[in-house]
Structure 1
Amino acid sequence: MIRTHILECHLPRSEADALNRESGRVYTDTLVWHYRIYRRTGHWLSQGAAEKLNDSLSPTTLHAHSRDAAQQAFYKACKTAKATRAEGGKYPHKRKFYRTTSWKATGIRAKDGRLLLARARGLEPVAVALPSDLTTLPKTAFVEMRLVYDLIAKRHRWHLVVDDGVETPLRSEGRTLAADLGEIHPAAIANEAGDVVIFTARDLRALNQYRNKRLASLQTRQSRHTKKSRRWKKMQRRKTYLLARNNRQRRDIEHKVTRAITNHAKAEGTKRLVVGDIRDIANGKRLNRNAQQKVSGWSHGRQIAFLVYKLAAEGIALERQSEAYSSKTCPVCGRHNKPKGRNYRCARCGFVGHRDAVGAVNQESQAVHGAFGHVQVGSVKYRRAFVRRSSPDTGHVAREAHPADGSREAAGL
């Protein structure tokens, strides 16, 4: 299975910038010469001809295949633009001062717990220390390395693509579960019997709320200072630290939530997990400011991406389906009712149930039977995706060390 591991980059900032600046220069030269020849002669240069032309124009400090990757990126973008032309896709036209530098497998060597990333002939390779859990992998497992600049944390990181050679076949037999994803509760999962498990992660909402409030406070204070002044830059550094730390915390919780969902699906003997297609949920919405902010800050795309590879490792397929009217339709009588609050109430039959449970069983009914109303809400259970543990502070240790009788012998001192 192919996975990407994110590693800290300990290169000097100047050296990392120089690598990505050179990749940007190679990409820009490819773009400029391609359009220059097209304007003058009307000839659309092929990828192979463009690579030969740019290789002869100027030397580079990159490895030959790293330079090829920068050149090929332009033609990949052209191919994507052609395929999405009807949807408004545009051909690449902007010059890049910086670009992510890539090393293919041919430019990567593993030696003594380190990866040596080749550069141009005569230059020393870039050395990257491997984590202990990756040192035992064969040399052929390292597929690609990318030097990525994190725009949130304002620093470089290594993205190491690893193929461990283990392929888990998808299950041919098993149950079908449906998940109703949400901003308050990450997921409510229902089975064919209508039993629902709601996964909670209040810490995730708390982090989003804290980020929004703290960021608003810092931006208000920053607006009182002249741009690029010493105080303005100090506020900017605080914002960068806040966003980077908050992103790491939210990413950690999302990993734990998706792992809990995967473990639940595995324990249920699931062969496929069906989720609502919410990729365009924020498009064209006209909500109040608070609701708009919540929907905008909901990282459902990253949670789905985590679920895809975690479920695939267990042989479980993830499928998307339309969730239209799944939260409004009564599972008993089929009437449409707009839910208010956390409970769903039907004005016709009087059914009352948790709104996320209603959405989950309707998704399950749609996935298994092709229509709503075939699965009714059964038991509803809450499950914490993770348990926060904290070490005892000084007061706790003191109370345990000194019992009620006050004797030092009884306390073992």
Structure 2
Amino acid sequence: MRDMKRRQFGAALATAAFSLGGVVKTTRSASAQETEPLQIEDVTVSFGGVTSSVGSATFSFEDGTMQFQVSDWTMEGADKSLSIAQASVSAADVSAETYATIRGAMVESFSGRSLSPLLSTLAEVDVNPDASVEVVVESVETDGQLVADQIAATGTVGSVVPEGTRALLRDGATLEEVAALGTAEWSELTVQRGSTEFTATDVVMERQGTGVAISAPSGSASASGRTFEFSDMSLDLMPPETIPAAHVEFASQVRQLAADGNLSSSAVSSAAEDAGVTAENTSEAVRNARFELSFADVTEGGETVVSDFQTSGTLAELLQVLRQRTDSETGDGTEDQQLPMEAVVTNPGTDEPANYTFRVTGDLRNLEPDEDASAATEEITDLGEEGTRVEGTVGTGDDRFAFSGELVEEDVPDSIQIEVSER
């Protein structure tokens, strides 16, 4: 068991190398003893309607620590984008021979435009299972909007890399081998956005049916000078109700390519194009992915704030709520400048609730998210570059929103009035 885990470290680098494999050239020879950094710059590749660009990527070794780092990574489609300022995967207690072996496999994969040599090497590489591993991602943005300033996770090789990874890398991504993957355990996971920071300890990630289950026995969240402690966190991530047919077909073709030992960038790109995978339907699928989040207890200063907390929805809804909460807690006095307009929705002359839908071309925040006097409900959807949509129901009271840009009425009955003014 120990030897198997020593050989499984390769999965920590496989995902990072995937976007670069098969498109990079090197002019250096691949001596087995080389420990010099392997560096590339200004790489661009098209994949299924998405253009992926990397400012620079470096694979390095220093004082027993091996690191793969990518800077200025962007992925853009017709009207969707994802950018990451910097991402790195590092492992300590690595021998120079192990680094040289992986480095040589990278050179071979880059030169041959195929991931197969790298995956084969990663399946057999020998790394101490007790060696520490750290993954850091900085400045993540989608469609120009900040998701997180930093995401960091720490653990050890033996706990982070799931059992079964070696077979997956060696034999290909068959359904049976994916289903057989074990759990990944991280010592600590931290997400930081503005002045808000979320930390979970002893995090366990495991496959659950067609989704992923994430749990942590304890952790904390801090914002605006307040710190909350939580216990027994559980987050289940599931596919959308309807998975796009293009993605189902693409997954089938990639599994076949892996079984044939032909995971070249051109083959994978052709499979994505043939299946009809685009940035738009991929982004929509991610946004519509479902989640279920729960905490046993949340406390502040030893006092219980809430018990048996549960919520669910789509990732788009979760991101919108997190953005609203963190943006409203920055405390820098810039909110009025960021959201200078206010919309007040009323339904005068009747006690009957009425539905409405409107869109703003910028950002939006519900000024009364906890107000229930009017029996109103609102669903706020982040549309990326198209702005933000509100689908609500207003009764005898009013709904108030702060926003930027212009307001566009999409489905507003004659009985409903929307008054727009400067804040």
TM bucket by the smaller chain?
under 0.3
Q: Which has the higher strand share?
A: 2
Higher percent of residues as helix: 1
Q: Which has the larger radius of gyration?
A: 1
TM-score by length of 2: 0.25
TM-score if structure 1 supplies the norm length?
0.25
Higher relative contact order (CA 8 A, sep 6+): 1
